[in-house]
Structure 1
């Protein structure tokens, strides 16, 4: 995976872009460097082979936007509507996603590295071949989502929910913390370590209505 902007196969094609994002607009090989996009209405916009560096997106509406072969470095997405958006072949490094509506989003071949996700709604989303590497996930809701070949190496999961989710080849063994307040039945199909099983045993027992009593 690319580590620097210059490593991108389309780096030599990138052109600086300024100005607001617009609804249903197509952005191709654009470089968004710095700046704050607050309150933009860009639903249905398409970003192809674009790079985002140090960008802040605040209280924006990007429903049904499409991000294909994009690279994001040190970007902040706060209180933004990304519901039904599509992300494919994308890399996100050192980013913040807080207060995000991402329900029914489509995420495919996406790598998030050293990112923070706080209060992110991914209910009914579809995730395929997604990697959360060294990330912090807090109050992230995967309820009713479909996760296939998703992994969390080095990531901390706190108050993360999987209620009603459908998991296939989801690897949780690399997670450094696994705090799941409810929805444990949604873990069917996940891989966990024996240590994680021991730590989650009381919650599994409670979910199953099993009383554990030694005397």
Structure 2
């Protein structure tokens, strides 16, 4: 069993009331550029197609909503919990998320390019395509997530852990990694940018799996 490194990511502890009754029930999608403090977005609220660019969500809970095409680019999300959200596409680029817990969400195409995440936990659920190109992730944990295609090209990751995840194709081309823990996750469909894995932690079995990619990167021919 792999040990937990001393520089494992810090987990988020959202500042939220214990009772949902203490939150204000929201009956309409968030406003573009608006501020929403201490609100509950319930399961019967459809956020599909809503324009919530540059909105601010502080101390909010989002529960089992449908959010196809919800535009959340540039949003600031702090001290929030998001659970059971479903979307075929989520254009959420260049947002800032801090102290956020995301559980059991299913998203087809998730665009978080150029986003900034700090102390974020993503637990369970499925992401078919996660675009994190140029993003900055600090103290982020992906736990038991089905990640079909993860694009981290040009991103910066510091204390990021993939725990018990199934990762299809992973692209770390041009990424800067520090304390990125892949040891308990499965890499199934290939890796792009093997030369930029410096700063990642893998098991000996994973190293053997990646050996042909390292050899090709170094120009080593294996014969026999």
Cα distance in structure 2, aligned partners of 1:115 and 1:167: 25
Cα distance in structure 1, aligned partners of 2:17 and 2:27: 19
**Partner residue in 2 for 1:131:** 141
Of residues 157, 162, 173 in structure 2, which corresponds to 1:147? 157
User: Could you give the per-residue CA deviations for residues 6-52 of structure 1, whole angstroms, max 9, x where no partner exists?
Assistant: x9742343111111221101011101111321211111000000001
Q: Shift of residue 178 of structure 1?
A: 5.1
Q: Shift of residue 77 of structure 1?
A: 3.3
**Partner residue in 2 for 1:57:** 67
Cα distance in structure 2, aligned partners of 1:102 and 1:14: 27
Cα distance in structure 2, aligned partners of 1:127 and 1:105: 8
**Partner residue in 1 for 2:90:** 80
Q: Does the 8 A contact of 2:155 with 2:174 survive in 1? A: yes
Q: Shift of residue 176 of structure 1?
A: 3.0
Q: Does the 8 A contact of 1:163 with 1:184 survive in 2? A: yes
Cα distance in structure 2, aligned partners of 1:105 and 1:53: 23
User: Could you give the per-residue CA deviations for residues 96-142 of structure 1, whole angstroms, max 9, x where no partner exists?
Assistant: 22212210000110001112111121100000000001111111100
**Partner residue in 2 for 1:14:** 23
Q: Does the 8 A contact of 1:172 with 1:192 survive in 2? A: yes
State whether structure 2 residue 36 is matched by structure 1 residue 27: yes
Cα distance in structure 2, aligned partners of 1:50 and 1:78: 23
1:28-47 → structure 2 map (5 Å cutoff): 28-34=37-43, 35-47=45-57
Structure 1 residues 69 and 8: CA distance shift in structure 2, 3 A: closer
| Matched residues, number | 211
RMSD: 1.9
State whether structure 2 residue 102 is matched by structure 1 residue 92: yes
Task: Identify which of structures 1 and 2 has the higher relative contact order when contacts are C-alpha pairs closer than 8 Å and 6+ apart.
Answer: 2
TM-score (norm 2): 0.89
1:155-170 → structure 2 map (5 Å cutoff): 155-170=165-180
State whether structure 2 residue 216 is matched by structure 1 residue 209: no
Q: Shift of residue 80 of structure 1?
A: 2.1
Unaligned runs of 5+ in 2: 1-10
Structure 1 residues 19 and 9: CA distance shift in structure 2, 3 A: closer
Q: Does the 8 A contact of 1:178 with 1:196 survive in 2? A: no
User: Could you give the per-residue CA deviations for residues 160-199 of structure 1, whole angstroms, max 9, x where no partner exists?
Assistant: 1111100001111111335433211121110111010011
Q: Which region of structure 1 is more displaced relative to structure 2, 171-180 or 66-75?
A: 171-180
Unaligned runs of 5+ in 1: none
Cα distance in structure 2, aligned partners of 1:212 and 1:95: 43
Question: SS at the partner of 2:210?
Answer: helix
Cα distance in structure 1, aligned partners of 2:220 and 2:182: 24
